[in-house]
Amino acid sequence: MRVRLTKTFHFEAAHDLPTFPDGHKCRRLHGHSFRFDVVVEGEVDPAKGYLIDYGDIKQAAEPIVKRLDHYYLNKVEGLANPTSEVIAKWLWEKLKPTLPMLVLITVYETCTSRCDYSGG
């Protein structure tokens, strides 16, 4: 039995996007209530009846959330250009070593705008 599990995390942060055109609103310093999903996939152990403890995902992600929450993302190492795309890859690279079952990161910059990244 193959399943996908998703756990959602939140952080509040400021950024500006230096690669957008002059005069674009995203060039100005602004903030978002970011949300991201950590999606893992694998075979359920029949004896246990679960893939992974959601708490293990939380334990892997929380130290990373602490590095982002209420920070100016452009100053975080590796996030000089903190687009949703760059943030998704950054999260992937931080989480994949401790969560080998990771198959997808989705970063929600707003309620209607999100970026999916699955490695590569």
Tell me which residues are annotated as active site.
Answer: 26, 70, 109
Return the beta strands (E) in the chain as ranges.
2-15, 30-43, 71-72, 102-108, 114-117
Written as six digits, the tokens of 46 are: 């029949």
Amino acid at 41: E
**Residues 75 and 13: beta-carbon distance below 8 Å:** no
Output the CA angle 108-109-112, nearest 5 degrees: 70
DSSP for 47-72, written as a single string? TTTBSS-HHHHHHHHHHHHHTTTTEE
